[in-house]
Structure 1
Amino acid sequence: MGDFGDWLVMIVAGGLLVLWIYRAFYRWLHEPPGMHTKLLLSKAEEVREDDVNVQFLEKAGYEVTHGKYRVPLMIDLDGTTLQSRLFIDLIAEKDGKHYIVKTARERMPIDWTGSGVRDRLLVYALLMPNCEGVLFVDHKESVIRTITFRIGS
Structure 2
Amino acid sequence: MNNAADWFLMIAAGGLIAVWLFRRFYVWLHEPPASRVYRLGEGSEPDPGDETVRFLTASGYEVVSGKHRVPIEIEVDGELMQSRLFIDYVAVKDGRTWLVKTARDRMPIDWTGAGVRDKFLVYALLVPSAEGIVYADPRERWLRTITFAIGTEA
Q: How high is the TM-score relative to the length of structure 1? A: 0.77
Which of the two has greater helix per residue?
Answer: 1
Give the % identical residues.
Answer: 50
- RMSD across aligned positions (CA): 1.9
1:65 aligned partner:
64
For 1:31 and 1:131, locate their aligned partners in 2 and report how far apart those are by CA, in whole Å.
12
> Partner of 1:61: helix, strand, or coil?
coil
1:133 aligned partner:
132
Counterpart residue type for residue 36 of structure 2: P
2:53 aligned partner:
54
Displacement of 1:31 in angstroms is 3.6
Q: Give the counterpart of 2:31 among 25, 28, 31.
A: 28
For 2:98 and 2:36, locate their aligned partners in 1 and report how far apart those are by CA, in whole Å.
17
Conserved 8 A contact 1:41-1:66: no
Q: How high is the TM-score relative to the length of structure 2? A: 0.77
Q: Report how many residues are paired.
A: 128
Counterpart residue type for residue 80 of structure 2: T
Counterpart residue type for residue 145 of structure 1: R
Unaligned runs of 5+ in 1: 1-20
1:75 aligned partner:
74
1:121 aligned partner:
120
Which structure: larger Rg? 2
For 1:127 and 1:30, locate their aligned partners in 2 and report how far apart those are by CA, in whole Å.
12
1:144 aligned partner:
143
2:104 aligned partner:
105
> Partner of 2:31: helix, strand, or coil?
helix
Displacement of 1:140 in angstroms is 1.6
Displacement of 1:65 in angstroms is 0.6
2:44 aligned partner:
45
